[in-house]
Amino acid sequence: MSPSHLHEDEIVVPGTNAGKSVSEWPALVVDDVDENELMNSTTRPHPPVQKIKLPVDNLSDIAIVSWRWDSKDGIWGSRNIFHVIRQARRIGIRYLLIDCISVNQSLSENELLTEVVAFSTLYKTIPVIAAYDTVDDFGRLTPLHFRYTLSRPWIFNELRTIRYNPKRVLYVGHNHQGTRLSRNGGNQPLGEASNYLFGYELPKIWRGGFTNVILSVLCGKVGMTSISDFKFIIPTFARILNLAHDKMTQNDYLLTAAILCQTHRIDRDINNRYLNDIRDVEFQRYTFCDARGTSSKDISSFVFLDGTKIAKWWHLENDYTELHKMALLPESNAVHLIFTALGLTDSDFQEYLTHEEIRLASLFINDNVPLPRVEILPND
C-alpha cells in the first residue's frame, strides 16, 4: 500500500459503516450435527448450515461462539465446538454463529474487513457461548496457560466486545481450565462467575488495552497465525497497520502497533510472568539506549525508531521475587514519528488526527455500561 492510499474517510468502526448491508449470516444448525461425524469423520462434509436474519425479536435459540481454534480443520475434530454443541442442545440453542462458517473468507480484503467488523459487533448483541479449554500431551494445563489463551488477539478482542453485551455469556469447558475454581474469586464484579477462572479474568481484560497483547505476540508468549490480522482486530488503525506491515520487518511492525495502541497509556505495567523483555527481540529499525534510574533495580531503556527517541521501556527488578515490572511508555509525538518513518506526510497525519475520537472509543471500554450476565456451565 502506498502512502497515497492512506485515507480514513471510510474508516471502518463497529456501529458505523460496518454491517449496514449485512442482515443474513450462515449459522450452524445444532440439531442436524452428527457428533460422531464431527469428531471422527475424515471426509469433512459440508456442515449443516442455514442463513438467519438479524436482528430478530427473539434471540432465545441463537448464540454466537467465541472459541479457541483447537483443530486445524476448523470445527471438525474440535473438542471446544463439540462441547459447545452439546451444551447448546441442552439449553435450547438451535443456531450457532461460528466465525469459520459465518464469515465469507473469499471476499476481497476491504470487503472482508467490513464483514469481520460487522460479525464482531454481534458479540455485543446476541447471547455468547465461549469455549477456550485446550489439551496438551502432558494433560491439564495450568491457569497461566489459560491466561495466555485469553491473551490471544482474536479471543482478547471478542472478550472486550462481550463487555457491552446485555445478554447471557456462557462458558463451556471440557478440561477444567475456564471452569476451574479461582483461589482469588469472590466479591468480584461478576458474582458467582468470579469464583471460576474465566469469570475472574474477564474484568482484568476489560480494564486493559491491546498493547500488552501485541507485546506478548512479539515476545513469543502468545501465538498468532497471521500478524497482519491486527487490521481486523483493531480496524480503527487498519490503514496505518497495513502500511507498517508492508514496510517493516515482523518485529518492527509489532512494536509499532504496540506503540500506536499505547499512545494514551492504556495498559499499565505487567510482570514477566506474562511478558518477556522486548530488548531480547531482534529489530531492524528500533534500537535501545540505557535509561537507568536512581534505583539499582531500574534497568529501563529509551527506545529509538530510525535514531529518534519514540518511547521508554520501563523495567524494574523486584527485590523479593523473580517477577519484574515492565511497561511501554511512548513519547507524546510517537504517532507523528511513526508517520514520518513510514514516508507519510503532515497532511496524512492531520487527516489521521481528525478520527482521534473514534479511535479512543475503540481503545477504551465504557465502564458505565451494565455488566453482562456471565455463567459457567459444568463440564461434561
pLDDT at 186: 57
Judged by phi (left if over 0) then psi (alpha if -120 to 50, else beta), residue 152 lies in beta
pLDDT at 318: 79
pLDDT at 187: 58
What is the reported pTM? 0.89
pLDDT at 4: 38
pLDDT at 364: 92
Beta bridge partners of 309: 304
Taking each helix axis as running N to C, give the angle between helix 250-261 and helix 334-341, from 0 to 180 degrees, rounded to the nearest 10.
150
Domain borders along the chain are 24-208+367-377, 211-363
Question: Distances in Å between the alpha carbon of 228 and those of 1, 246, 347?
Answer: 13, 9, 25
CA–CA distance, 8 with 256 (Å, rounded to integer) = 19
CA–CA distance, 74 with 179 (Å, rounded to integer) = 23
Residues of the chain with pLDDT under 70: 1-22, 136-141, 184-187, 272, 380
Question: Distances in Å between the alpha carbon of 140 and those of 4, 151, 265, 290?
Answer: 51, 19, 36, 41
